[in-house]
Amino acid sequence: MLRVILISLAVTIANAYIWPSPQLDALEALRFNQDGHNQGGIAVFIEPCDRFVLDTGSNVDSTSGRSNVADWVRTAYHDMATHNVTDGTGGLDASIRFPQESLRTENVGNGFNNTVEALGSVINRYVSLADSLALGTIIAIENCGGPEIAFRGGRIDAGKPNNPGGFTQTEMIGLVACGHTFGGVQQAPFPDIVPILNDPNNTESVTHFDSTSVNFDNLIATEYISGTTQNPLVAGSNDTTNSDKRIFGSDRNVTMKSFSDSPELFASTCADLIARMLDTVPTGVELTEIITPLPVKPSSLILSMDGDTLKLSGEVRFWNMTADPQRTVFMLLDDHLGDTNNVTLIASGVSSAVGGRYTAAWYSFAPVPTAPGPAPVLSLNATTGITNMRFVVDGKVEDQDGLGFAVLDGVVFSETSCYTSLDPPFTWRFDVAVRNGLNVTRVYLEELGVTDSVGRIIVPEVDIVPPVQPVAVNANYSIWSINVTGTDSYSIGFELDGGKFSTNNPHSVFDLSPCTVQGE
Ligand code: HEM
Ligand SMILES: *[C@@H]1O[C@H](CO)[C@@H](O)[C@H](O)[C@H]1NC(C)=O
Ligand SMILES: *[C@@H]1O[C@H](CO)[C@@H](O)[C@H](O)[C@H]1NC(C)=O
Ligand SMILES: *[C@@H]1O[C@H](CO)[C@@H](O)[C@H](O)[C@H]1NC(C)=O
Ligand SMILES: *[C@@H]1O[C@H](CO)[C@@H](O)[C@H](O)[C@H]1NC(C)=O
Ligand SMILES: *[C@@H]1O[C@H](CO)[C@@H](O)[C@H](O)[C@H]1NC(C)=O
Ligand SMILES: *[C@@H]1O[C@H](CO)[C@@H](O)[C@H](O)[C@H]1NC(C)=O
Ligand SMILES: *[C@@H]1O[C@H](CO)[C@@H](O)[C@H](O)[C@H]1NC(C)=O
Ligand SMILES: *[C@@H]1O[C@H](CO)[C@@H](O)[C@H](O)[C@H]1NC(C)=O
Ligand SMILES: *[C@@H]1O[C@H](CO)[C@@H](O)[C@H](O)[C@H]1NC(C)=O
Ligand SMILES: *[C@@H]1O[C@H](CO)[C@@H](O)[C@H](O)[C@H]1NC(C)=O
Ligand SMILES: *[C@@H]1O[C@H](CO)[C@@H](O)[C@H](O)[C@H]1NC(C)=O
């Protein structure tokens, strides 16, 4: 019925998602930790759904008639619309961030820049701006009355603007209706289409597509079919600009009638079309499997070495669980000698996702301090170390179907690290504790928060020269050390048995003690 030309994805082999998997872990967190404890920073921009935040901070204004949800959905569409079906270029790749694209006539208005600024605030080394644009659209629709939408990650941000692209209008009835359930037409960029409203509750004079402009619902269709629509792209006096009228009527209203008759059909059709729109990416970009929430997910793990003590902090999230003071949660830590440490975990918060449809309960590995201070830690014996975690919830073992949750303690931050100057350029000594007897072939520092010339996150690496004479930190670890100047924070990367790993924990010079004259 709906013949929407969107590229069909190559069949992807579904890899089971097993923790740890840094990219999937990061995408899953941004996708499913939306509100409450450890919220990922996207949903706050669209709560409530009529929230409009120009330039991300100041200027919170719900009387403008505009909304972030509408800006975000429109931005994802326009970014994707450069896809060229013939040569496979363009697609959802964040090329809209380039002025060459955002200043084109089809991209009039500041909604694109506004979206890039808000959704650009949550990107990291594993989540591109294009992935964030996709997530923004999904979270907007899910939080404002719409269906749950399948999300894949792995989009790559373009390095340059795309050529203008082409999707034909008549094949897009469904998609246009799905998008135009939000928002409307602004007066300033479109003075020939919509009038000045002189409405204190709609200061930017946005004539909305339907009477519920920040709710995902099928009123875009019911009002159209009943002939009561105020949609300025249908009911405008000049038919040249009545693009929705042309598109919606192009199959003699068959599709719009079906949407008008069934909110469920509208929602399920949109869930499919929006996912396919967001998954339209340039040839060569390989998307992940559909990301579903991990039932049990360790989070924010930090290991560090303090003399004979291996310190561990972190939390674990249990999906589809509400708070319950009667529940018991234990963490079983397997060590290098085959023994097990049994730790009682402490409830630390509750989060929710998909417009409140799901709840998750979080537990901390150590008591969370009531006052600000150092992160709570478990102190483990460095000799015995840690290899694996398992959890026991009300007597039920959670161990990823017998695999356990693997923890690498081979290369960890050493608290012997120290500074010689806290004034720029910072000068400090970064010490890394490396477990003896492992095949660690390379240890390096990762510089965080660095972008290339077109704003994409990159992670420069600074090699640590292996020590000529191993310096023992305790019976089972030796120190690899490097003097650094300038940068104030690094995480640690290493190569072990041919695999490349990152601790992905920033360690800041401001958390260190001064170096003693002896240097140790
Ligand atoms: C050829 C098809 C389309 C045409 C001609 C079209 C046209 C327009 C126009 C003229 C506006 C007003 C923009 C403004 O005031 O800044 C608009 C807004 C919007 N469009 Fe479309 N559109 C099309 C397809 C889509 C699709 C496929 C989606 C998403 C799935 C979408 C989502 C939106 C949204 C959410 C807004 C509201 C923006 C806001 O209120 O800030 N549009 N569209
Ligand atoms: C969007 O931002 C770019 C710079 O990043 C700027 O050149 C352009 O004028 C902005 N567009 C609008 C409509 O504000
Ligand atoms: C799409 O790509 C083909 C092949 O490179 C090119 O001939 C065509 O002009 C492109 N279409 C658009 C709309 O740019
Ligand atoms: C603006 O909104 C407020 C709150 O919803 C309402 O009380 C007021 O009547 C509205 N003003 C106009 C002019 O519609
Ligand atoms: C209708 O809109 C088109 C495109 O904006 C414009 O060229 C034309 O002059 C308009 N016609 C009238 C009668 O305003
Ligand atoms: C589609 O529906 C609209 C609104 O009821 C009506 O004005 C229009 O004539 C219909 N178009 C066709 C082709 O039936
Ligand atoms: C969520 O948990 C409830 C009760 O614990 C259970 O009945 C339900 O099937 C679970 N839902 C999912 C999607 O796992
Ligand atoms: C862990 O300790 C709790 C009590 O602190 C005990 O009830 C539980 O059986 C222990 N679990 C294992 C696997 O040792
Ligand atoms: C750590 O464990 C080892 C091996 O079981 C033991 O010999 C050592 O005494 C322990 N160290 C401390 C500080 O408890
Ligand atoms: C710790 O190091 C000692 C030698 O210093 C070694 O005998 C022992 O096997 C190591 N223990 C573990 C658990 O790796
Ligand atoms: C770091 O600097 C100190 C003081 O200049 C020096 O003694 C030490 O050898 C340096 N360490 C490395 C790994 O270069
Ligand atoms: C250590 O790992 C590297 C990279 O996989 C490999 O080439 C080398 O043979 C390994 N060395 C040992 C002693 O296993």
CA distances from 31 to 50, 116, 118, 140, 471 (A): 21, 18, 16, 12, 43
Q: How far is CA 520 from the centre of its chain?
A: 40
Q: How many Cα atoms occupy the beta-carbon half-sphere of 414 within 13 Å?
A: 26
- Contact present, 443 and 432 (Cβ < 8 Å): yes
Query: Which pLDDT value is given to residue 101?
Result: 92
Q: Helices marked H in 152-292 — which ranges?
A: 173-179, 219-225, 243-249, 254-261, 263-278
- C-alpha torsion 121→127→128→134, nearest 10: -90
User: Which atom of ligand 6 lies nearest, measured to the CA of 248?
Assistant: 1
User: Which atom of ligand 11 lies nearest, measured to the CA of 482?
Assistant: 13
Dist. CA 380–CA 371, nearest whole Å: 24
Query: Which pLDDT value is given to residue 520?
Result: 45
Dist. CA 270–CA 276, nearest whole Å: 10
In short, whether 104's Cβ falls inside 6 Å of ligand 10 is: no
- Contact present, 101 and 162 (Cβ < 8 Å): yes
Query: Which pLDDT value is given to residue 57?
Result: 46
In short, whether 338's Cβ falls inside 6 Å of ligand 12 is: no
Residue written as token pair 């290098």: 336
User: Which atom of ligand 2 lies nearest, measured to the CA of 109?
Assistant: 13
Dist. CA 303–CA 492, nearest whole Å: 11
Query: Which pLDDT value is given to residue 11?
Result: 37
User: Any idea which ligand is nearest the CA of 65?
Assistant: 1
CA–centroid distance, 485 to ligand 11, in Å, is 12
Dist. CA 77–CA 25, nearest whole Å: 26
In short, whether 192's Cβ falls inside 6 Å of ligand 5 is: yes
CA–centroid distance, 319 to ligand 7, in Å, is 9
Contacts of 190 (CB under 8 A, 6+ apart): 108, 241
CA–centroid distance, 320 to ligand 7, in Å, is 6
CA–centroid distance, 202 to ligand 4, in Å, is 10
- Contact present, 231 and 220 (Cβ < 8 Å): yes
User: How many residues are given for the chain?
Assistant: 520
Residue written as token pair 């010490």: 431
In short, whether 283's Cβ falls inside 6 Å of ligand 3 is: no
In short, whether 257's Cβ falls inside 6 Å of ligand 10 is: no
User: Any idea which ligand is nearest the CA of 241?
Assistant: 5
- 142's tokens: 């899910």
Q: Helices marked H in 95-234 — which ranges?
A: 99-102, 111-119, 129-143, 173-179, 219-225
Residues in contact with ligand 2 by the CB-under-6-Å rule are 99, 102-103, 110, 113
Of 378, 379, 388, 377, nearest in space to 334 by CA:
388
In short, whether 342's Cβ falls inside 6 Å of ligand 8 is: yes
Most ligand 6 atoms within 8 A of CB, residue of 170, 230, 252, 253 to mutate: 253
Of 328, 315, 396, nearest in space to 362 by CA:
315
Residue written as token pair 């339209």: 280
Take atom 10 of ligand 4 and give the residue whose Cα is closest: 201
Stretches where the chain sits below pLDDT 50 are 1-14, 56-59, 168-171, 519-520
In short, whether 343's Cβ falls inside 6 Å of ligand 8 is: no
Domains of the chain: 6-278 (1.10.520.10), 296-406 (2.60.40), 411-514 (2.60.40.10)
- 246's tokens: 């042309």
- 34's tokens: 């939306």
Dist. CA 195–CA 272, nearest whole Å: 35
CA–centroid distance, 325 to ligand 7, in Å, is 18
Dist. CA 239–CA 229, nearest whole Å: 15
Contacts of 165 (CB under 8 A, 6+ apart): 81, 82, 83, 84, 90
CA–centroid distance, 343 to ligand 8, in Å, is 8
CA angle 303, 520, 382 (to 5 degrees): 30
Query: Which pLDDT value is given to residue 371?
Result: 74
pTM of the model: 0.92
CA–centroid distance, 191 to ligand 6, in Å, is 26
